[in-house]
Amino acid sequence: MTFDEIKSMLVSKFGTQIILKEDRNGLQPALFIDKADLVAVCLFLRDTEGLYFDFLSNLTAVDYQMHFAIVYHLNSLPYQHGLVLKVELAGNRSLNELPEIPSLTSVWRTADWHEREAFDLMGIYFEGHPDLRRILLPDDWEGYPLRKDYEEAEKYHGIHIN
């Protein structure tokens, strides 16, 4: 199934407003959707005959300084097609009030580990995640090292780390 056919099925189900924009310039074309529609769109993509996106192969977060983006790489193993979904989030830089997006752990189990990594390294809060905690860094680590405004600490528990 082609990108345009998948897009057409989404528009038929949800209406033209479901697609905020699209990007055809990269290696894989991408559809941008609103975070409020994310779970419903992903359930449709997973459960619809002919689409059956049964595998979330990758989830990553990108810091564009003015905003964040969450990128989902979806694949249908039986039908051998893929799709990239993107959701843009406001660029809230506060470490006390993280950007939020709904968790997809109820749709794909692999989202569990991907979302924990994005939380740990980029500071994205996945609402509804069953166990959202750091996965790579110690629990008491301050900040999110993949953010562009991250400042490396000189010491951690008295040990020089630079």
Q: What is the pLDDT of residues 86-121, one digit of tens each?
A: 999 997 788 888 999 999 999 999 999 999 999 999
Q: What is the mean pLDDT of the chain?
A: 95
Is the pLDDT at 133 greater than 80? The verdict is yes
Is the pLDDT at 55 greater than 90? The verdict is yes
- What pLDDT is attached to residue 94? 82
Which residue ranges form the domains of the chain, and what is each CATH number? 3-149 (3.30.460.80)
Least confident range of 10-24, 88-102, 129-143: 88-102
> Residue 91 and residue 112: Cα distance in Å, rounded?
23
Number of Cβ within 10 Å of residue 103's Cβ equals 20
Residue 44's pLDDT band (cuts 50, 70, 90): very high
Using CA atoms, how far residue 108 sits from 103, 115, 151, 154, in Å, is: 10, 11, 34, 38
- What pLDDT is attached to residue 88? 98
Q: Using N-to-C axis directions, what is the helix angle for 3-14 and 38-47, rounded to 10°?
A: 120
- What pLDDT is attached to residue 152? 83
pLDDT > 90: what percent of the chain?
A: 83
Phi and psi at residue 130, to the nearest 5°? -75, -20
The string of pLDDT tens digits covering residues 73-91 is 999 999 999 999 999 999 7
pTM over 0.85: yes
> Residue 147 and residue 130: Cα distance in Å, rounded?
24
Whether residue 103 contacts residue 128, with contact meaning beta carbons closer than 8 Å, is answered with yes
Residue 125's pLDDT band (cuts 50, 70, 90): very high
